[in-house]
Amino acid sequence: MKKVFLWLLIIAIAAVFSLAGCKAEAAEVVEKAVTEEVADIPENPLYKDASASIEDRVEDLLSLMTLAEKIGQMAQIDRMYVGGDVISEYYIGSVLSGGGSVPYDNTPEGWADMYDGFQEEALSTRLGIPIIYGIDAIHGHNNLVGATIFPHNIGLGATSDPDLVRLIAQITAIEVAATGMDWTFGPCITVPQDERWGRTYEGFSEDPELVAELGKAAIEGYQGDDLADSNTILACAKHFIGDGGTSGGVDRGDTICSEEYLREAYIYPYINALEVPVGSIMASFNSWNGVKMHSNSYLLTDVLKEELGFEGFVVSDWQGINEIDGSAREEMSRLDIETSINAGIDMVMIPNDYRGFINMLTELVNQGKVSQSRIDDAVRRILTIKFKLGLFENSYADRSNFGLVGCEEHREIAREAVRESLVLLKNEGSLLPLSKDLDSIVVAGSKADDIGSQCGGWTITWQGAVGEITEGTSILDAIKDTVSKDTIVTYSRNGTEVPPDADVAIVVIGEKPYAEYNGDDKDLLLYTPDKDTINNIRDAGIPVVVILISGRPMIITEEIDKWDALIAAWLPGTEGQGVADVIFGDNAPTGKLSYTWPRSIEQLPINDTDGSKGSLFPFGFGLTY
């Protein structure tokens, strides 16, 4: 009786549309109704049998899914827009936390409670398909207050230590998984060529070989030997492809180069990533020779999936499909969806207009503009990863590792990473290391007592922030904790208060926190207040040790002669004690530049391996004691 009523209703609707001259719309409604016919679920479906092969489980589940359930799996929405019964009503397949998108209770328990609530709703649906939760945990669980925050990738690149990078990723996975999250949008295996780009610090190096080695190590650390292990998470290599090569270092700009160079410089690290194999890859905002990557079927499908054999799924970047025509629109269009899905995007980071995405993609399938086979391919890839993660068997957060989040053992590894990442660029008269028994030390500079500046962008919030944004040790506190009890440490933020008997000044200066887009900088010059601080110290006539906190090399050619010693500390994270370890000689500096340090902005882009191109410091440079 219900079927008869349904068909009578459909015929009535079609008649109304026809009378209004809308025969095409009527056909679409009928076709959608037929497409949405629900298959009966067996009493013991194969996809719920953990002993069956993943391939068989995926195919069984796929055969039971309606178009609505499939398209829902392709939608990823930010947690801010999950309200009511959104997940169950639209069969949403993935939720994410964008930078700074955190639960009200920003604790391990708060994250786990939020995750379990979303998961419970997903499991209440007809087929009970769990969500996969993604987060930008790119230098630790960096959205969570109290988590261990490691140096950003530019610092890890200076270590050239794949074992350390692998261990850092393992620790990050433990802390992330402890709060329920399944997936990190990292590592970034970009190969930045122009330091004006605001995401330079997310790249390990300008050298494709070093990026490939460290990127592979990070993926191995995140994913471990078995994705179903409760201490592992899914990795996401990003951003495919050419994000670090845009003209002028403009974020989301155009990478203009031959295919040969694209393969040698930018695709090269993905070869290593696929050897692990990495389970997901994020498409890039940038264009290649004028074609947006989110619409590039040749690179996403022909090269990545078919030629290179990538078997995971491709996720878009935040509203990335909206920019296919070169604009930064908030609203997506049918053409955006049609083009990106057909190009090879499997999951779309919407992150808010899930209704529009689902409705328009449904219409595109019913109109034959996106094939059912393309939908099935995308969903098959997503479901395969979910089964590999063990989400069907272990759907909820494993809370047993709450105590490991930000624990002392993890912070000690972060401290080690800071030590190894520091690059000693100048040391006149062997000023460093300093004695712990000096009578008087002045610490100055805007970044000396600032955890937020040490951590940089993508920390607690998207762009990062100055101040005590999370738990950690500032460089000032680390210095105080390192020197002898008889040494007087004076802090003068702007360098105007210098004791007459001061032996040396340690001045910590550098960039303010920033992330993508906002971080683009045409000049890379030091801030005037920082230069004034150093000049104030110089007027006191004492030696100056400069600690530079930055996400990239900066133009310091006119200032460096005034400094007696210089350490590039990059963005070291929460463990400032690692800086003091090197300043006072508990550890000698071992870091080497993973980027060429330009003498002038006009030199960019520059790759100088031996100094022959006139850089201030060539790639690989680094002094020691």
Angle at 514 between CA 512 and CA 516, to 5 degrees: 155
In the prediction, which pLDDT does 62 show? 98
Q: Is the pLDDT of residue 562 over 70?
A: yes
Q: Among 36-45, 291-300, 474-483, 546-555, whose mean pLDDT is lowest?
A: 36-45
Taking only the tens place, the pLDDT of each residue in 358-393 is: 999 999 999 999 999 999 999 999 999 999 999 999
Q: What is the mean pLDDT of the chain?
A: 94
23-35 vs 2-19: helix crossing angle, rounded to 10: 160
**Overall average pLDDT of the 281-286 stretch:** 98
The closest alpha carbon to 187, from 107, 414, 210, belongs to 210
CA atoms within 13 A on the CB side of 52: 18
Residue indicated by tokens 């990738």: 153
N residues, the chain:
625
33 pLDDT tier (thresholds 50, 70, 90): very low
| pLDDT, position 12 | 40
Identify the pLDDT of residue 26.
Answer: 33
Range with the poorest average pLDDT among 232-241, 320-329, 572-581, 609-618: 320-329
pLDDT band of residue 272 (cuts 50, 70, 90) is very high
Q: Just list the catalytic residues.
A: 317, 516
* Averaged pLDDT, 586-615: 97
* Residue 36: band (very low, low, confident or very high) from pLDDT cuts 50, 70, 90: low
Q: What angle do CA 464, 469, 470 make, to 5 degrees?
A: 115
Q: Whole-model pTM? A: 0.93
Q: Is 97 helix (H, G, I), strand (E, B) or coil?
A: strand
**pLDDT over 80 (residue 50):** yes
Please indicate whether residue 386 or residue 11 has the higher confidence score (pLDDT): 386
Residue at token pair 């998961």:
119
**597's torsion region: left (phi>0), alpha (psi -120 to 50) or beta?**
beta
Rg (CA), the chain: 27
| Nearest partner of 582 among 598, 566, 595, 571, judged by Cα | 566
Distant-in-sequence, close-in-space partners of 551: CB < 8 Å, separation ≥ 6 = 152, 154, 198, 200, 201, 456, 457, 511, 514, 519, 570, 571
Q: Look at residue 84 in the predicted model and tell me its pLDDT.
A: 87
CA 511 → CA 82, 425, 501, distances in Å? 35, 18, 30
Q: Residue 329 pLDDT more than 70?
A: no
What pLDDT does 8 receive? 35
Could you give all domains of the chain from N- to C-terminal order, each with its CATH number?
36-402 (3.20.20.300), 422-603 (3.40.50.1700)
Report pLDDT digits (tens) over 408-458.
999 999 999 999 999 999 999 999 999 999 999 999 999 999 999 999 999
pLDDT digits (tens, 9 = 90+) for 112-162: 999 999 999 999 999 999 999 999 999 999 999 999 999 999 999 999 999
Q: Output the pLDDT for position 325.
A: 79
Of 383, 326, 332, nearest to 358 (Cα)?
332
Whether the per-residue pLDDT at 309 is higher than 60: the answer is yes
Q: What is the pLDDT of residue 159?
A: 98
Percent of the chain with pLDDT over 90: 91
- Residue 200 exposed, middle or buried by CB count within 10 Å (0-12, 13-18, 19+): buried
Beginning with the edge strand found earlier in the chain, give each strand of the sheet holding 254-255 in spatial order.
254-255, 287-288, 291-292
What is the rounded CA–CA span in Å between residue 592 and residue 545?
A: 19
For 590-609, what is the mean pLDDT? 98
Band (611; pLDDT cuts 50, 70, 90): very high
Q: What is the pLDDT of residue 523?
A: 97
Q: How far is CA 352 from CA 75, 76, 239, 240, 567, in A?
A: 10, 9, 21, 23, 43
Q: List strands edge to edge, sheet with 348-349.
A: 183-184, 132-135, 94-97, 75-78, 348-349
Considering only CA atoms, which of 292, 299, 278, 289 is closest in space to residue 256?
289
Written as six digits, the tokens of 333 are 């269009």
Of 126, 89, 129, nearest to 386 (Cα)? 129
Rounded-to-integer distance, Cα 598 and Cα 594, Å:
13
Query: Does the N-terminal peptide bond of residue 192 adopt cis geometry, omega within 30 degrees of 0?
Result: no
Q: Calculate what percentage of the chain has a pLDDT beyond 70.
A: 93
Tens digits of per-residue pLDDT, 13-23? Answer: 333 333 334 33
pLDDT average, residue stretch 547-553: 98
What's the whole-number mean pLDDT along residues 51-61?
98
> Distance between CA 47 and CA 44 in Å, rounded?
9
